[in-house]
Amino acid sequence: MNLKKSTIVFAVVGIVIVIANSISALSSQPSFCGLCHGHEYNAWQKSKHSKLNCNFCHRRPDTISFIGQRLDVVRMVVLSPSVLLNRQPVVAKVPSVACRSCHADTNKTVVNKNIRINHTAIVKANYACTECHSTVVHGKAVPNPRISSMDKCVGCHAAGRPGANCKICHVENVGQIDRTFKGPWQITHSKEWRKLHGMGDVKSCQVCHSSDFCLMCHSVTMPHPDSWLNIHGDEARKSRQGCLKCHQESLCNSCHQIEMPHPATFLEAHPRIVGKSGTKVCYSCHQKQGCDRCHAQHIHPGLPKDALKQLRKGMGNGSD
């Protein structure tokens, strides 16, 4: 490479470095971010975090993250025309370690917006701060907001049921707190809750309600125990109507692929049903020994020997 070409290459590289450094330096100011993120910038100015610049929250507090974040800013500036033309929502991450650099005392029980909470277990479980506090700074400008709600709370409290005493977490009347009635919890606890409560996560009901509460309407244990698949047949025979309070008959057929429970005429008709559906359908509930008790071990009185032999052959047993 001759001197002229070398000079041009170094000049181009130098210009790129200068531009990149300029962008990096300028972008450390929130007003620079506001050129593209106007709604977010306006919300930030009105928030309690307005004294912190964007970089303080949107990167981890270490050197490597600082360099990576600066490079990301340069990339965003270069790609900004295409982003603006496509009008795609901007989704940024805020690492929890950045939040805890200020909010370090997670062992303290605090009250905020009528909610009493201690963050010790939440931090220990490695939940991100933005799982509940994504709108703290930018409010409605956040494209996919994630806020605290009853559905999130019961997901954790299911392991250690606090009981139906709402005042453990809510310092005022629960009915006055708007966040309490957002999401699936709103549907399952509405005026039509008797019809709609099964649409929620039934396993979370016992966070607030005892099993006796469910038994007032349901004739079986709710939510169903882990062994339910093996024992539900006996329960269904005791109270089929109890099953139909929540389930449609088609649910039984979707697994069993034949009418359940078996009708009174099933014993006479089952050879034809088995021939059509195959024994695999039977073995989803019954063991093969159940068939053998009749078709291999029992001698039908008056049944001709050749007919009995043919019957055994059809069951996979061709011996006399």
Token code pair at residue 142: 């956040």
144/127 Cα distance (integer angstroms): 17
- Lowest mean pLDDT across 122-131, 200-209, 234-243, 297-306: 297-306
> pLDDT higher for 50 or 10?
50
- Express each pLDDT in 238-292 by its tens digit: 777 778 878 887 888 788 878 777 877 887 888 888 888 788 888 877 777 777 7
Full-model pTM: 0.57
Predicted pLDDT of residue 111: 86
Predicted pLDDT of residue 306: 75
- Lowest mean pLDDT across 4-8, 79-83, 204-208, 250-254: 79-83
Q: Find the DSSP H helices in the chain.
A: 3-26, 30-33, 38-46, 54-57, 63-86, 96-100, 120-124, 130-133, 150-157, 184-188, 193-196, 211-215, 228-238, 240-244, 249-256, 266-277, 279-282, 288-295, 305-314
pLDDT band for 320, please (50, 70, 90 cuts).
very low
Token code pair at residue 214: 């469910």
47/162 Cα distance (integer angstroms): 34
- Lowest mean pLDDT across 12-16, 291-295, 313-317: 313-317
**What mean pLDDT is reported for the chain?**
76
Mean pLDDT along residues 24-49: 82
Tell me 77's DSSP state: H
Predicted pLDDT of residue 44: 92
Question: Reduced to 3 DSSP states, what percent helix, strand and coil does the chain have, rounded to the nearest 5?
Answer: 55, 5, 40
Mean pLDDT along residues 113-130: 87
Q: How would you classify residue 105: left for phi > 0, otherwise alpha for psi between -120 and 50, otherwise beta? A: beta
Predicted pLDDT of residue 318: 41
- Lowest mean pLDDT across 30-34, 72-76, 167-171, 249-253: 72-76
User: How is the chain split into domains, by residue range?
Assistant: 3-99, 109-225
183/190 Cα distance (integer angstroms): 11
- Express each pLDDT in 167-194 by its tens digit: 778 887 655 455 445 667 777 887 888 8
187/192 Cα distance (integer angstroms): 8
